[in-house]
Amino acid sequence: MNVENFEVELTEIARSIGAHSVACIRMDNPLLRERISENNTLVSDWLQEGLHGEMDYLERMFSAKSDPWKTFPFAKSVIVLCFTNDWGDPAATHPFPIPESEALLGYVSAYATAIDYHRNGQAMLLKLRSELGDDFRAEAAVDTKAVYERLFAIVGGLGIVGGNDLLRVPDRTNVRVFIGCLFVEAELPEVILEPKMPFACDDCLACIKHCPTGAIKFEQPIDARKCISYLTIEKRSPLSQEEGAMIEDWLFGCDECSVVCPPRDKVDTRIPIDLEWLLKSPAGELRRLIKGNATAYAGVTQLRKNAVVILKQKDTARARAMLEWVRKNSGSDLIHQQINLW
């Protein structure tokens, strides 16, 4: 790659591999050190307040995240990619069967379309790495390693943090992008953009207004314990009745704070799931179906636990009959704990 024309070539490569935007930051950038130091204080306070719920891995990863120079000691530069992974694209496909019109339904977030974004992002970074050459060390991270990906994207000028704590990019009709970082041993020229946002988040607050549980509050850290995505994906213990009411009919994730950014009429991007199909299909068959899909992170038992919660709230004869079938046929201790909790 031509160093003298690095920004143009890097941008062209990023687009050719399907990325939305790209930046490159030197690891000795003083702004990077300043932002990470500031963020470490915020995250430390957030963890101490217990707002991360059962996500104990965030505590374990904090030390490594807080010091990328120690975590990636070889790295002299980091390339940051944003990519959409078809999130929010009406034409995007998913592996789930279309429910019958009378089916009891739960819903999966729209980002569980196409291939799992972790795998897609890794593939993009591997392609990028091959374009850079093989004469130096490189390590990729897509929401699987101890990296503040969003912070690197912000320092690189790829966007700003929205009120919902997601990266908001300037030239898309929605906020829905994922982030990948490639830490490289080479001293590369910096490519840092200036995000020109059409309006400030403070002038909107649509994500805060539309959060159904109050997990998002203005200029306050998000309380993950009230976030539907946390409750349906990360909280692996049974849900209390109050938590069950929070998730409503969500099986996996939540789109409420993302579909309204930028402010517009709410669009239903959810993926409908037949709860009877989810609960009665062989577990092995379901695992094969969701392999490579974002829902595989939660796993079949977690999805079924959430299905039980949704059915308990419906409180209809059909829902009660389905719960009784689960009680008699499920071999999962977690599922039985959830049925019997309230």
Catalytic residues: 143
What are 83's strand-pairing partners?
A: 178
Which residue pairs, CB below 8 angstroms and at least 24 apart, start in 132-136?
Answer: 132/1, 132/184, 132/186, 133/1, 136/184, 136/185, 136/186
Contact by Cβ (8 Å): 249, 310: yes
Tokens in use for 44? 């430390």
Token pair 């030197």 is at which residue? 26
CA 162 to chain centre: 14
What are the tokens at 272? 């409908």
> Closest by alpha carbon to 271, among 242, 297, 292, 294?
294
> Measured between alpha carbons, how far is 177 from 83 in angstroms, rounded to an integer?
5
The answer to whether 305 and 334 have CB atoms below 8 angstroms apart is yes
Strands (E), 38-162: 77-83, 105-108, 138-141, 160-161
Distance CA 147, CA 279 (A): 36
Distance, CA of 290 to chain centre: 17
β-bridge pairing 167-168 and 160-161: antiparallel
Residue 189 preceded by cis peptide, ω within 30: no
Q: Which of 44, 75, 45 is nearest to 61 (CA)?
A: 44
